[in-house]
Amino acid sequence: MSVPNPYCPDCKGKGRLIGVKDELAEARKCHCIPPCPRCNDTGRLLVEMDGARRVARCRCQMLPDRLSVFNTARIPGRHRDSTFETYRTDLPGVKAGYDYALSWCRAFRPGLANRGLVLFGQVGRGKTHLLAATMHYLVFEKGVQVRFIEFSHLLSELKAGFEQGRGTSRTMNALANVEVLAIDELGKGRNTDFEISVVDELISRRYNGVRTTLATTNYAPGRGRGIATANLSQPKHQPSLVDRVGERVYSRLTEMVDFRPVLGEDFRGRAGRVRHGAPRPA
C-alpha cells in the first residue's frame, strides 16, 4: 500500500489536498502518493480464497473512498481547513468546547447507536468550526458517511423544490438517513410554521431511525421562556432553544444529544481588531 510523503509541503503528510468547488470543500489525493506497488493503482488484487482465486479490493483504495465520502458531505468551502488542528485553543474560554468535541469524535463507534451533540453559545465563538472539524475527523479517521447542512440553506433548498415541482421527499430522505447529520444554526429563521414543520420532520425521522445528529445553535437549552423571537434591546430576555424549535422537537433532542456550551470571546470581532488595529485616540 502506497503512503504519502510525511515531509510533503502541500499535504503535510496527510495525503489529501482540500480546495473549494462550487462554494463547497472538495478533497483530492495529493501528488506525493506514489503508485500502489500491490495493485499498480487499479484498486484490484487477485487473492486465494477457499482454494479459488478471487478479485479483492486493494487497501490503497481506503483514501480515495474517504475522499469521495468527504466530497458528498457538502461542507462549506469556507470551512475546508476547519479542523481540530486549526482551532484556536489558546484563546480564553474556548478549550472546554474543543475538548468535548474531540473526545466525542474519538468515542464515536461507526455503525452503532451513538448519542449526538449540540454545541450552543453566542455568535462568533467557533461553533461551526468545531462542527466542521468533527466532520473532517469522522470522515478521514473513521470513514463515516456524514452530511453538513446550514438550516437556512435547507429551507431555501426545500422551497426551490416546491417551486420546481420536485417536492421535498428526496432532500429530506437523504438527510434523514445519513449516518451522521450536522445541522448548523439550528433554530435560525423567522420561526414560521413551515420552518417548525421542517425541523419537526427531520428530527423525528432521525429520532425514530436512531441516527446520530449534531448541531450548533445560538440558543441555550433549558426551560422555555415564552419568547419566540429575540429582542435586541433587552439582551437578558432572549428565546431559548425550546422556544425556537418547539416542545416536541426539544424533548426528542434531549433524548438524542448532549448539550455543551462553547464559550470565549468573539472570534470574528477579534479577527477584525487584529486586522484593523486599535482605534486611534481622539
Task: Indicate where the chain has its CATH 3.40.50.300 domain(s).
Answer: 72-269
Say what the pTM is.
0.88
d(CA 220, CA 185): 12
Provide, rounded to the nearest whole percent, the portion of the chain with pLDDT above 90: 65
Q: What is the pLDDT of residue 277?
A: 42
Average pLDDT score, the chain: 88
pLDDT of 142 higher than 80: yes
Query: Please, which pLDDT band fits residue 230 given cuts at 50, 70 and 90?
Result: low
263, 94 contact by CB (below 8 A)? yes
| Tens-place pLDDT, residues 9-18 | 999 999 999 9
Q: Which CATH code is given to the segment(s) 72-269?
A: 3.40.50.300
Consecutive H or E run containing 204: helix 193-208
pLDDT grade for 237, boundaries at 50, 70 and 90: low
Question: What three-state secondary structure class fits 179?
Answer: coil
Predicted local confidence at residue 276, as pLDDT: 36
Nearest Cα to 198, choosing from 132, 140, 149? 149
Q: State the average pLDDT over residues 90-114.
A: 93
Q: What pLDDT, on a 0 to 100 scale, did the predictor assign at position 267?
A: 64
Q: b/e map of 20-54 (b: 16 or more CB within 10 Å)?
A: eeeebbbbeebebbeebeebeeebeeeeeeeeeee
* pLDDT beyond 80 at 162: no
- Beta-carbon contacts of 267 under 8 Å, excluding residues fewer than 6 positions away, are 88, 91, 124, 125, 126, 129
Task: Find all residues with CB under 8 Å of 255, minimum gap 6, and list them.
Answer: 207
Residue predicted with more confidence, 164 or 232:
164
Cα separation, 58 vs 43, whole angstroms: 5
Given a cut of 90, whether residue 181 has pLDDT beyond it is: yes
Confidence of residue 233 (pLDDT cuts 50, 70, 90): very low
- pLDDT of 164: 75
- 105 falls in which pLDDT band (50, 70, 90)? very high
Half-sphere exposure (Cβ direction) of 262: Cα atoms closer than 13 Å:
28
